[in-house]
Amino acid sequence: MFEAWKNWEKGHGDGELLGKLGERCGDMALQCSDTAGYLSRLNQHIQRGSTRLHDLQANMAQLSANQLESNFASEELQRTASRAQTVIAEGSNVAARSLDEFAGLIAHVMSLEEKLRAFLDIIGTVGTISDELGSIAKQTRMLGINAAIEAGRGGEATKGFAVVADEIRRLATQAGESTSSVSEKLAQLDQSARGLIGGVAAGIDIGRQTSGQIDRIRSVMTEISVLITQFQQRSEAISHCNREGAEDVAILKDGLEQFCASAEESAREVDTARLRLDELEGETNQMLNLTAHSQVQTRNSPYIGHALDAAAEIARLIDNALATDQISIAELFDTDYRPVPNSDPLQYHTRFVSFADIWVRPLLDRHTDQDSSIVGCCLVDMNGFLPTHISARSQRQRPGDRQWNLENSRNRQIFMDNQTRHALDNEGDFFLYTYRQDFGDGHYRALRSVLVPLSFKGRRWGLFELGYLI
């Protein structure tokens, strides 16, 4: 079939023009594919950014709620500080009056010591007088006894004097007894007064200590009042800052909402542009494919011939395997895709995979190596499954390295794009398209690809694909 491409008529004006048109269509399709890939990456970045913005919006909403709660707490704190200041002021006044009264009481107690000591002096003086009275009473009693003796000597003449003498002696005895009783009472009073003075003295010592404590209490209350005043001032400052912060948060929230809306609108516009480019790419691909089927020689012609020859060789290989029962038709068309455990991206096994790896992969490697512009050859079934690939793209996956796996372990994966889907769903001897080779995470490579349909036993199996760079 490749010979047909060599039988074009050189110098034919329409053919040359058609060839140039085909090349321009191919270049345009490639540029569209490349630009659409860029827009797709941009859209993914915008979408990720939009997701982060939505997360940020949620955080901002939480921050706004926290700010409102902080404002409420700040205002409550300010009210508490104001009430505390009022209560402290009132309590300070009451305490100051109480302390003044208590200090006066202590001063009064302390003044009792002098009065009690003066009272002891008076008791002492009275005790001296009482002693003198007792001495006088004793002398008077002795005088009364002497007078009674002398009156007895005088007989009837001194009998009246004797009566007087007895009365004096009796009075002296009573005076002595009274003086003795007074002395006892004075002694008891002196003992009680001295005990009272001792208690008062102890109370006075405590009073002196208490006076110092009262002064310290006054000082502490003054400090508390100052601290409460400072606390209220700080509360007012915090409340003011919170109010300003709430205003800033509200402004930031509005700006973030507007930015999110703008980002979403940008994402929609970028996606619309990408879809239009995809449509334009599809149209240019159709023109490129039509030009390729016009038998006009272009830069794509050698790759088309190469793809047709490689597909025919692989078809013969599989037909022979079916004919010799090396593989069954059921195994060839097996679509029971069994996931490979712990693979990322996900790979699958079918009953055709082992045969494809052993017998088809060497042919894919050989045809890939024939031209440095060819980036790879592979098989694609009707669902986009690649049972095998060239050896460079069929390496064992590295755990936890998804990006490396996407580029180097492309076998046994399922890929589908618009061009592959169109080639699978339509009839033709080949299809020539440009497309974006997806390496995941927004990474693409713009290629041209020749897709050749493969059928076995009258049944469409899928495609042989040859990708190359121009």
Of 421 and 256, more confident: 421
Neighbours of 463 (CB within 10 A): 23
Q: What is the rounded CA–CA span in Å between residue 227 and residue 217?
A: 15
Instruction: Please indicate, yes or no, whether residues 387 and 441 belong to a single structural domain of this protein.
Output: yes
Of 148 and 314, more confident: 314
Q: Which residues contact 41 (CB under 8 A, 6 or more apart)?
A: 442, 443, 444
- Predicted pLDDT at 383: 97
Whether the pLDDT of residue 107 is over 50: the answer is yes
Of the ranges 127-141, 180-194, 263-277, 316-330, the best mean pLDDT one: 316-330
Of the ranges 232-241, 343-352, 417-426, the best mean pLDDT one: 343-352
Answer for the pair 389, 376: CB distance below 8 angstroms, yes or no: yes
Instruction: Please indicate, yes or no, whether residues 235 and 320 belong to a single structural domain of this protein.
Output: no
| Tokens coding 467 | 């990708």
pLDDT (tens digit per residue) in 402-453: 989 988 999 999 999 888 999 999 999 999 988 766 665 556 667 889 999 9
End-to-end CA distance of the chain: give it in Å, rounded.
Answer: 23
Instruction: Please indicate, yes or no, whether residues 447 and 314 belong to a single structural domain of this protein.
Output: yes
Q: Is residue 441 part of a domain?
A: yes
Instruction: Please indicate, yes or no, whether residues 239 and 311 belong to a single structural domain of this protein.
Output: no
Instruction: Please identify which residue in the block is written with the tokens 């929230």.
Output: 253
Q: Is residue 103 part of a domain?
A: yes
Q: What is the rounded CA–CA span in Å between residue 2 and residue 62?
A: 68
Q: Among 311, 351, 322, 354, which residue's Cα sits nearest to residue 335?
A: 351
Answer for the pair 289, 433: CB distance below 8 angstroms, yes or no: yes
Instruction: Please indicate, yes or no, whether residues 327 and 446 belong to a single structural domain of this protein.
Output: yes
Q: What is the rounded CA–CA span in Å between residue 47 and residue 43?
A: 6
Of the ranges 139-153, 272-286, 427-441, the best mean pLDDT one: 427-441
Q: What is the rounded CA–CA span in Å between residue 290 and residue 310?
A: 22
Whether the pLDDT of residue 98 is over 60: the answer is yes
Q: Residue 9's pLDDT band (boundaries 50, 70, 90)?
A: very low
Instruction: Determine the average pLDDT of the residues in 166-170.
Output: 67
- What is the 8-class DSSP label of residue 433? E
Answer for the pair 335, 432: CB distance below 8 angstroms, yes or no: no
Of 291 and 460, more confident: 460
Whether the pLDDT of residue 21 is over 70: the answer is no
Of 238, 254, 270, the domain-final residue? 254
Domain of 394, CATH number, reads: 3.30.450.20
Q: What is the rounded CA–CA span in Å between residue 332 and residue 322?
A: 9
Q: Is residue 280 part of a domain?
A: no
Whether the pLDDT of residue 37 is over 70: the answer is no
Of 219, 254, 289, the domain-final residue? 254
Of 385 and 403, more confident: 385
Instruction: Determine the average pLDDT of the residues in 22-38.
Output: 60
Helix and strand numbers, DSSP H then E, in the chain: 8, 6
pLDDT (tens digit per residue) in 47-97: 666 677 667 767 767 766 776 776 666 677 667 767 766 776 766 676 666
Q: Is residue 47 part of a domain?
A: no
Instruction: Give the number of domains in the chain.
Output: 2
Instruction: Determine the average pLDDT of the residues in 165-188.
Output: 68
Instruction: Please indicate, yes or no, whether residues 105 and 174 belong to a single structural domain of this protein.
Output: yes
- Predicted pLDDT at 222: 74
Whether the pLDDT of residue 457 is over 70: the answer is yes
Instruction: Please indicate, yes or no, whether residues 321 and 463 belong to a single structural domain of this protein.
Output: yes
Whether the pLDDT of residue 394 is over 50: the answer is yes
Of 192, 220, 254, the domain-final residue? 254
Q: What is the rounded CA–CA span in Å between residue 204 and residue 423?
A: 115
Q: What is the rounded CA–CA span in Å between residue 422 and residue 432?
A: 11
Q: What is the pairing mode between strands 374-381 and 431-440?
A: unpaired
Q: What percent of the chain is helix, strand and coil (3-state, nearest 5)? A: 75, 10, 15
Instruction: Please indicate, yes or no, whether residues 226 and 332 belong to a single structural domain of this protein.
Output: no
Q: Where are the beta strands (DSSP E) in 264-344?
A: 338-339
Of the ranges 14-18, 21-25, 258-262, 329-333, the best mean pLDDT one: 329-333
Instruction: Please indicate, yes or no, whether residues 93 and 212 belong to a single structural domain of this protein.
Output: yes
User: Mean pLDDT score of the chain, rounded to an integer?
Assistant: 75
pLDDT (tens digit per residue) in 116-139: 667 667 766 766 766 666 676 666
Q: Is residue 210 part of a domain?
A: yes
Instruction: Please indicate, yes or no, whether residues 310 and 244 belong to a single structural domain of this protein.
Output: no
Long-range contacts at 348-357 (CB < 8 A, ≥ 24 apart): 348/385, 348/412, 348/413, 348/414, 349/412, 350/385, 350/387, 352/327, 352/387, 353/387, 353/388, 353/412, 355/321, 355/326, 355/327, 355/331, 356/387, 356/388, 357/387, 357/388, 357/394, 357/411
Strands of 374-381's sheet, edge to edge?
374-381, 459-468, 443-456, 431-440
Q: Is residue 37 part of a domain?
A: no
Answer for the pair 314, 464: CB distance below 8 angstroms, yes or no: yes
Q: Which range has the worst mean pLDDT, 15-19, 337-341, 416-420?
A: 15-19
Q: What is the rounded CA–CA span in Å between residue 145 and residue 159?
A: 14
Instruction: Please indicate, yes or no, whether residues 361 and 232 belong to a single structural domain of this protein.
Output: no
Q: Is residue 325 part of a domain?
A: yes
410 three-class SS: coil
- Predicted pLDDT at 332: 98
Judge residue 178's burial from the number of C-beta atoms within 10 Å of its C-beta, 0-12 exposed, 13-18 middle, 19 or more buried.
middle
Instruction: Please indicate, yes or no, whether residues 216 and 314 belong to a single structural domain of this protein.
Output: no
Q: Which range has the worst mean pLDDT, 24-33, 281-290, 365-374, 429-438?
A: 24-33
Q: Which domain covers residue 314, as residue numbers?
A: 299-468
Domain of 134, CATH number, reads: 1.10.287.950
